[in-house]
Structure formats: C-alpha cells, structure tokens
Structure 1
Amino acid sequence: MRVAVINVVGLSNSLLGRHMPRLTAFAAKHGLQTHAPEFPALTCSAQASMLTGSSPAAHGIVANGWYDRESAEVRFWKQSNHLVRGEKIWDLLRRELPGFTCAQLFWWYNMHSTADFTITPRPLYPADGRKVFDIHTQPMGLRDELKQELGAFPFTAFWGPGAGLASSAWIAASARWIEERHAPTLSLVYLPHLDYPLQKLGPAAAEIPAELAKIDSLAGDLIDYYESRNIRVLVVSEYGISPVSRPLHLNRLFRQHGWLQLKHELGRETLDCGGSRVFAVADHQIAHVYVNDPELRPAVRKLLENTPGIAELRCPPQTWGSGIASERAGDFIAVAAPDAWFTYYFWDDDALAPDYARTIDIHRKPGYDPCELFLDPQLAFPKLKIARFLLQKKLGLRGLLDVIPLDATLVRGSHGRDAVPPDERPVLLGSAWPVATATDVFHAIVDAVRH
C-alpha cells in the first residue's frame, strides 16, 4: 500500500484537543499511541531510529552534532546520509516490493542517500564569502523544476527569528508536487512549524493555540490530499517540548576550573576544543562532555554529579556499548533537569563573545543555539539593521548580521530527555502496530507499506 508519513515536529498528546480539531479527529478515527522518546530525544537521533529501526548504538547518531576526535572539530547539522549506519527503511522495502520508491522530504541526513527522491535545505557558499539560500535534490534536476514551479524555498522561515509556517507550507506543497509527478510508494514529509513557537514561548504560552491551529490546518489539508489519492497516512513526532526556565553553562563551569583552552582572535574569544582538557557540546537538554585529559575523568564526574540542574550523568559505553555511538559521544552525557537546558556559551564577558555568537551560524557554533530564534531585544531597530545588511550584501559588501541575543533566559521550551511526563511523549497517529519506542515506529511504517 502507498503510505505518507507526516512528521509534525513537537506534537504531543498535551497539544491535541480543541485547538487542533483536524489532527484530533484523525487520531480519534485512526488511533493514537505515545511512546518513550529516543535517547537523546533530538531531531537527528529520533529520525535515524525511525528510519533504521535501530537505536543510536547501531546507527551512531548520538545528537544533532558531535565532536569528531580525528579532526578535532565539532560538526553540527551535517547532511550526508552516510553518517547514519545501518539499512534504511527504503532499502528494506525496495528489496521486498518490486517498483517501490521513496520520497524523503526535509527529514535530516538527506543528501546522497539511496532514497529515490529527496529535497533538503542546502545553501550555496560561493568563494566570495556569500551565503545563498538554496535546496539540494535527488535527482538533481528536481531542484530547478521545484524552484520554477513553487518559488524559492523560504529559508528564513525554516530557521532564525523569522521561522514560521511558510517553510512548512512550502514543504507540504513540494510533497504534493512530488506525488503528482512521481507517485512514490512511501513519502516522508517533515513539517517543522511547531518547533519554533514551542521553543521560543513555551508550550503554555498564550500565543500557542494560534500556532497549533496553523499547523493543524496545514497538516489536515495534506492528510485530506493524500487520502483523496488512496494513500494511507501516518502522523509521527520525534519528541514533545517541555517548559524550561534554567539555562546551564557547562563550558563556563569548565573554564572556572581551568580546563578550557581559549584562543583570542581579533579581540574576541574562541574555543579550542582540541586543546581543551574538558569541554561540552551542548544540544538542548543533553550535553556531550569530552575529556581530552583522561586523568581528569574522576574530577569531571564529581563536578557534574554535584552541579545544580543536572539530573543525570550517563556513560556512553554503559548506555550503548562499544561501537560507533560511543566513538562519537562524549566521555559523559549530562542530562538536564526537566526545567533546564544546556548552552554552548564559554565566554564570561559578552564583549568578548565570538563574532558568530550574535549571528545565525549553526555550523560554526560548538553546540545548538535556540537563541537564534530571537531578535536581540536590546537592539532599538533590528529590522533596520537587517535591511542595511541586505543592502550591503546586494552591493557586494561583507557584513555581520549580529542581531541574535546572548540572553539564554529568553528560551522557554526544550527537549532531549527520555524521561518525560506521559503527555509530553512523542506520538504516532494512524497505526495499530504496537509502538513503545522510536524504533517501533520503523516497524509500524513497514507494516503499513506491506499491507
């Protein structure tokens, strides 16, 4: 049977109800299950588990990014599908079902995969230092066709202070476009909209019901479209969003103990991970702590176990055994308390923060930064500053779009923990296949396609 899997990011049972009538009705008709979040409950880890049927111990995706010990570099939001170990769901089904095809639309690790049709965000980086918003597709010819018929992908609505519904709407339109021209057996569609307001405002904010209604309408229309073409629909999420109010700065803590190595560059500080004795790679509510000096491991463990806001400390070999996950993970994984999350901040004086700190720079920062969803409230005229930057860019001049705040207390929602209240667990709508974990979602999708 042909199947569409719609990933409504951040959807949990706590959000369903009167503000999401269409998804609530779909759940009532076709079934609702919640399951334990993957550990860590992060985009890339959860998606890899759903698409391989294995845990991070096997597929190796221990976070949205990690420290590569060989190159001594932190690498976040990489895109090659080769980073995900193990057989993918489309390879399994292609072996079983003659003529099977798969479209993977904006799920992560979506470059150079063996899926038949892929679309993923991928800026161009010309040699003159510019960043040009674009997409990458497979086959490559889809890129020009999509842009001609749907317009440019609204990249600023996909991440940053302007993130919002427009990116999810474009992705939904691309899903229809692929369906009408290629009719894949399995469509994997990513709708990220809820991730933005839930992190910025928190799940209990007064503005959230309006945002729920927006994605409910968009997802509901896409469900109706697929069902009109006799395509079975499953709705999934990777995690729920928990309210938070406490940012934790592990690298500042390690700095106080003299364990960080900092480099002064053009009047600012940067973190030298390879030269540091201990440092943390923060990712929402978990942080991989890398200990380059083995003699410090007992001291690091003791410090973290006694740090307020850290609920748990895990050792990767005990969690995942030996293998790719433990090779990529930190020596310890710190898990935040339910109301806390980890920043990557390592400077003590904001005047010395690296130039990228106040910009959207997901690849250069040694950790995830949800403050990129905000405009700095201390700026008197942030939109005027953005307009000036864009004008400079058009004139071929370089500039720094430094409009992102350094106040981590602005963030009100996060995820990453696997121990969450039942109504904050991720969901699967539309399948009777028993689902207890993210890896079970893989089997539910396979079962739907087989039948």
Structure 2
Amino acid sequence: MSKKLCIINVVGLTPRLLANAPRLASVGAARPWTSPVPAVTCTSQATMLTGTAPRDHGIVGNGWLYPDTQEVRFWQQARSLINGDIFYDRYETAKMFWWFNQATTAKYGATPKPHYGCDGSKVFDVLDWTGCDLTRQLGPFPFFAFWGPGAGIDASNWIADATALVMRTKQPQLTMCYLPHLDYDFQRLTEHDPARVAEVDAAAGRVIDAAEAIGAEVVVVSEYGLTPANRPVHLNRVLRNNGHVKVRSGPFGEVLMPTDCDAFAVADHQVAHIYVRDANQIDSVATLLQQTPGVARVVRPAEIGLDHPRSGQLIALSDADAWFTYYYWLDDDNAPDFARTVDIHRKPGYDPCELFMTSKLRAGARLLQKKLGMRYKMDVIPLDATLVRGSHGLLASDPQDGPIVIGPTEPPSDMVDFPDYVHSLL
C-alpha cells in the first residue's frame, strides 16, 4: 500500500505567527526556510515544485515581458511555463488551487477560471476535474473573496472544504492545497491580527482531519512572509520623466508601449524587472534608479539567480519598508481605465490597491448596471498607493518573519530541497 501525503500551502505563514495556529503547528517540526528572489507566489512555488533556482525553472516573477509579442503578462497558469521536472508528476495527485494548474499532470484538481464573453462580459467559475462536482456540492466558488476588495476567509474555506471532499472521495497519493487568506489583510494593515491566523488555521484543520481519515501525512509550507511597507516607489514614472517610458494616449487613457520604451519596469511587490532595449544604456538606467528614494539596490540578474532570458537586464530591489508600483502615468486623469478596476491580466505589474475600494455606493451602482444588462465597468479601485501597508519579495531580514515549513522528520531549510523531502515521505 502506497504512502499518502498532503501538502498545505498557507500563504504568508511565518514562524512568528505559528503560535496562533495550533492545528498547523501540530503536524510536525517547524523551521524557517529560504525562498528564491523574488519571494513571490509563482517563483516560490516553481522552486518548491522543481528544486531549482529561477535561472533554471524560468519563473522569474508573477509576470514578465514576453519578448516575442512584447506583452507583459501576469498570473499565467500553464504548467508548460516551468522548465524542468516537477515532483508531483510521479504520483497520483490532487492539485487544489496551487498555481500552474492548467496543462498539468495532476489527476484531480481545481483552479480559478472565469468564462469570457465576446462582448467583454465575464462569468466567474472554476475548472474542476476532481470528479466531485464541487460547485454542486459546495456552491459557487466565492471569487470575490479570492481577490479584490472583498478578499477574505470565504475563499480559503471553500478551497479547504473542496480539498477535504476530494481527499475523502478519491484518496489520492498526493494532495496539494493552497490557502491564500493571510495575503489579504497583511497587505492592507501593518499589524498582523492573530484572528486572521486563527481563521486560516481552522480552515487548514479541516484538511488535516481529512488527511488523517485517509492515512496521509501532512506537510505545511508557506511561500514568503509579509512585512510592513508604507512607501510606494513609482519606478516607471522616474523612467518616464527621464525619457525612457513611452505611452499611447487614447479614449481609455494612457497605455504603456513596451515596443517603444527604451527602458521600463515590470513591478512585482518589492522586486522589479527593468527591461532596457539598448545595452549601451544599461549602466545609466541603473544609476538613475539606484538614486531613487526607496530603491535599495539595482543589480544584474545573475547576482541573485535570475539570469534567465525572461528577466530584465536589471533587477531593482526595494528598501525593506518600500514597494514598487506599476504606475506609469503622471496624472491620474490620464490613468488607463483598467487601473481603477480589478484586472490582474491587463495591468503590466502587480497592483495591491485592488484589495481596496473607493466607494461601496459606487460598487452597488455598477452591480445594478450589470443586473440591468447595461454596459459598465467596476471602476472602484483607488489609485492611492499609500493605502498599502504590507509587501514581500525580498528575503526576510529576520527568519521569524520569513516563510516556514512544518513536517515530519527533518524538513529542509531551503525550498530547492523540497522535492527530495517529498520523495522521502512518499
């Protein structure tokens, strides 16, 4: 009889927070572990899955410039983006909301995937190949609790319950569960409320119960820790003011034109890829950004293991209390219309302001327009980057505030050693 294992990814869990998570703490020995840079979801997960650095697996951030099309794309889901072997390919796996969950070898799984109409409309849904008809059994996935101003515990509760259901029904050899709850308020607020940790601990507890019911060991991981950050740094505005960033003005505001930029930044929390078209300008762009308040260092990708063709020619790292916006417009009146909406695929960078709302009254009016069949845009996201109070992407200065791994025997101290650890348990 084969051994069984359940890996629970509790985003944002740190050694310092573990005291408020007794169910998670109970599964084994806990230790801090080292993430890659950037310490962000896609890069950390790819390192865990392959046991290699970003220079090898190619996931250099949550998004990057695709040179063939000159488009910046974030939050792509294809497993084929990852170079190298992935540990779950060897096992009958249920992969529940971990990233890179399309074109996957996982026998069972679920992942967010809206439907898009030809008129621009969008209907929220999930891809579900668990054979458990999750929406019928649990109700619709609460998409607005997964990301956006309403992001909260409901999404993690649904994922936890779906994972427990799949485990009890299908009894896979390997189960992978993604619980993002701590990512939300810890970016909205400076203080890390223990109540949020208790909420995700309770959700994880139901997964742990299901693992025990099918005889599976449990391992808990996190990708990064969130730290206080209250200084937004607008790299693209600096580059634009110095003639490097080019935009196109139109009826829907200004749009970044990567094809015409001498240099521009793809901002991703506290790390940014700087794409420089002319190699002769790399040093001058580095000097310009290094002099920008809030920028700690500007380095060549090879210095931090990011020397991959997808990376920028330079990498900017923020100060510990700062983070990088994607903003490239100089006047909010010229911001693109998507800037005031939740639009993770159109924005050429990560936007934590999507966790905030300008007006509930305005949102209600937009929902009424939708119900009446009128054209509308959910333009309720503020452009005030000073609202953000937490970020990540850098290596933690104190391991107690960085990512954590909890499991039986001796869990690894570095994410690159995770595949060997999983194989040892299975």
Q: In which range does the TM-score fall when normalised by the shorter chain?
A: over 0.9
Name the CA distance, whole Å, in 2 between partners of 1:224 and 1:117. Answer: 20
Q: 2:113 aligns with which of 113, 122, 126?
A: 122
Corresponding residue for residue 15 of structure 1:
17
1:155 matched to which residue of 2?
Answer: 143
With 182-191 and 425-434 compared, the bigger mean Cα shift is at: 425-434
Q: Which residue of 1 aligns with 2:38?
A: 40
Q: Give the match's secondary structure for 1:329.
A: coil
Residues 1:134 and 2:134 are matched in the alignment: no
The whole-number CA distance in structure 2 between the counterparts of 1:268 and 1:182 is: 50
Residue 219 of structure 2: SS of its match in structure 1? strand
1:408 is matched with which residue?
A: 385
CA distance in 2, matches of 1:430, 1:58: 27
> 2:213, 2:134 → 1: CA distance?
23
Query: Aligned letter for 2:105?
Result: T
Contact 1:37–1:417 (8 Å) recurs in 2: no
One-letter code of the match for 2:107? D
Alpha-carbon distance in 2 for matches of 1:384, 1:375: 10
Determine if the alignment matches structure 1 residue 52 to structure 2 residue 29. no
Whole-Å separation in 2 of the counterparts to 1:407 and 1:336:
19
Give per-residue Cα distances to partners, 1:31-63, cap 9 Å, x unaligned.
Answer: 111112221100000001111111111110000
Give the letter aligned to residue 337 of structure 2. Answer: D
| Sequence identity (%) | 47
Q: Secondary structure at the match of 1:16?
A: helix
Distance 1:51 1:387 in 2: 41
Secondary structure at 1:279 match in 2: strand
Q: CA deviation at 1:419?
A: 4.5
> Residue 106 of structure 1 aligns with which residue?
97
Amino acid at match of 2:308: S
The corresponding residue for 1:242 is 227
Residues 38, 394 of structure 2: 8 Å contact kept:
yes
1:254 aligns with 2:273: no
How much has 1:315 moved relative to structure 2? 1.2
Query: After the TM superposition, which residues 343-358 of structure 1 pair with which residues of structure 2 at under 5 Å, given as runs?
Result: 343-358=325-340
Hey, what's the Cα distance between the residues in 2 that align with 1:115 and 1:267?
Answer: 41
Runs of 4+ in structure 1 off by over 3 angstroms are: 317-321
Cα-Cα RMSD:
1.5
Contact 1:280 1:288 in 2 (8 A): yes
Question: Residues of 2 paired with 1:411 and 1:219: CA distance?
Answer: 27
Count of aligned positions: 424
Q: 1:434 to 1:154 in 2, by over 3 A?
A: closer
Counterpart selection for 2:78 from 64, 76, 80? 80
1:160-171 to structure 2, matched below 5 A, reads 160-171=148-159
Q: Which runs of 5+ in 1 are unaligned?
A: 95-99, 377-381
Alpha-carbon distance in 2 for matches of 1:72, 1:169: 38
1:186-265 to 2 correspondences below 5 Å: 186-202=174-190, 204-205=191-192, 208-265=193-250
Contact 1:240 1:424 in 2 (8 A): yes
Following superposition, the deviation at residue 434 of structure 1 comes to 4.6
Read off the aligned partner of 2:23 and give its amino acid letter: R
Question: Does the 8 Å CA contact 1:21/1:216 hold for their aligned counterparts?
Answer: yes
Q: 1:67 matched to which residue of 2?
A: 65
Structure 2 residue runs without a partner (length 5+): none
Asked if 1:178 corresponds to 2:163, the answer is no
Secondary structure of the structure 1 residue equivalent to 2:16:
coil
1:4 aligned onto 2:6: yes
Contact 1:434 1:440 in 2 (8 A): no
Distance in 2 (alpha carbons) for counterparts of 1:179 and 1:216: 18
Partners of 2:164 and 2:206 within 8 A in 1: no
Q: Which moved more, 1:209-218 or 1:166-175?
A: 209-218
Give the CA deviation at 1:121: 0.3
